[in-house]
Amino acid sequence: MQITAIEITHHRLSFTPPFRASWDSAPRHHWDSTIVRVHTDAGISGIGSGDLMLGFAGHEHLFVGRDPLAIERHFRTLNHLAFHYGRCWPLDLALWDLAGKAAGLACWKLLGGLADRVRAYASSGTLRDPGAMAEAAERYLAAGYRALKIRFQRGDWRDDIRALEAVRARIGDRLELMVDCNQGWRLPQDTYAPWSLKDAVTVARQLERLGVYWMEEPLHRGDRAGMRRLREMVDVRVAGGEMTRELYEFRDLISEGCLDVLQPDAALVGGITGLRRVALMAQEHNLVFTPHTWGNGIGLIANAHLTAGLADAPYLEFPFDPPEWDLDRRDYMLAAPCAVDAQGWIVLSEAPGLGFTLDEQRLAATRIA
């Protein structure tokens, strides 16, 4: 079997009202997706999604004519491309989808077969006032979720704490709560400074009081010394790594004792092939590996296969904050969205590969140049 072509298409779903993400000062009026298809002479195609595949054009020859199952070889090539150009990891996801289809096995089985499911935590994205946040928490609980991540970034951390207090007062200990401090990185238009270590410690004391499971991205992504000191000073778990670009950085974050929870995203760094390494490193150091998944349903499903099949994580991120961010907006490229069951589990199928089907009609309607 040989790769005959790599097809890349871009799509845009426009919507109103806009989605006002806590980590972005600009309201979002559309959601873009890149679909990568790897075709073979055996009639089997693999599908992935994630970044725009910037810099991939002109490098197709490095893959076409090769065995698609030589995944480790392809990973090394993609790793070089990521250094010189952009993050082309959607291709790795497509290769795993293809490998599963060729083997007649679901990817979670190929990756270790540990489990066919992982419990989701509802990952909110908007900044609601305390009363509205408490009401949203009630809805998440009624829908079967057992954990909820609340975003900070209301301008003053005291306002963030008030929203968190309202949620805890309303739902008690019926939901595990996580907090995303949103201090690790900024979008280009947002130039305000991240917290200092002392800021993070002050907030951490409040999170400990409220029984928060982890505080995510409490410091700038490059402040490894600060992360290590914070982890030593507080009891709440320190989480991070969602936008880390190089696998060796995770090695250093682990060896230097910076994090309790590692959150790389297979669609953004390393693909499934690279993140298998990180998952195993985390396991050997008794750390939690639970990927960031704030992309579309294809990236979420890929991370779910990796996590369920290999990582034994307590929870996996499930981006969902209706009405601004619902399954139809997030997963418009899929014939059926990735969903959780009534007990809050993402249950993976026995279907070969990653197990999803594209909505070709909607992709045709949303395709852009």
- Say what the pLDDT of residue 81 is: 97
Task: Render 218-241 in DSSP notation, one character per residue.
Answer: -S-TT-HHHHHHHHHH-SSEEEE-
CA distances from 331 to 81, 290, 302, 318 (A): 28, 21, 13, 12
Tell me the pLDDT band of 362, cut-offs 50, 70 and 90. very high
Please tell me the pTM assigned to this model: 0.97
- Tokens standing for residue 39: 């075709």
Q: How far is CA 69 from the centre of its chain?
A: 25
HSE toward the beta carbon, residue 11, CA cutoff 13 A: 25
- Say what the pLDDT of residue 369 is: 85
* pLDDT beyond 90 at 330: yes
Average pLDDT of the segment spanning 97-103: 98
Q: How many CB atoms lie within 10 A of CB 67?
A: 12
- Compute the Cα dihedral for 266, 270, 272, 276 and give only its sign: negative
* pLDDT beyond 90 at 259: yes
What's the pLDDT tens digit per position in 101-137?
999 999 999 999 999 999 999 999 999 999 999 999 9
Rounded distance between C-alpha atoms, residue 89 and residue 14, angstroms: 25
Strand 214-216 to 237-240 pairing: parallel
Domains belonging to the chain, first-starting first, are 3-104+360-368 (3.30.390.10), 110-347 (3.20.20.120)
With H, G, I as helix, E, B as strand and everything else as coil, classify residue 253.
helix
What's the pLDDT tens digit per position in 42-93?
999 999 999 999 999 999 999 999 999 999 999 999 999 999 999 999 999 9
* pLDDT beyond 90 at 355: yes
Rounded distance between C-alpha atoms, residue 191 and residue 194, angstroms: 9
What's the pLDDT tens digit per position in 184-231?
999 999 999 999 999 999 999 999 999 999 999 999 999 999 999 999
Q: How many CB atoms lie within 10 A of CB 360?
A: 10
Q: Please, which residues bridge with residue 261 across strands?
A: 239, 288
Phi, psi (deg, nearest 5) at residue 176: -75, 135
- Please name which of 218, 107, 103, 236 lies closest in space to residue 157, comparing C-alpha atoms: 218
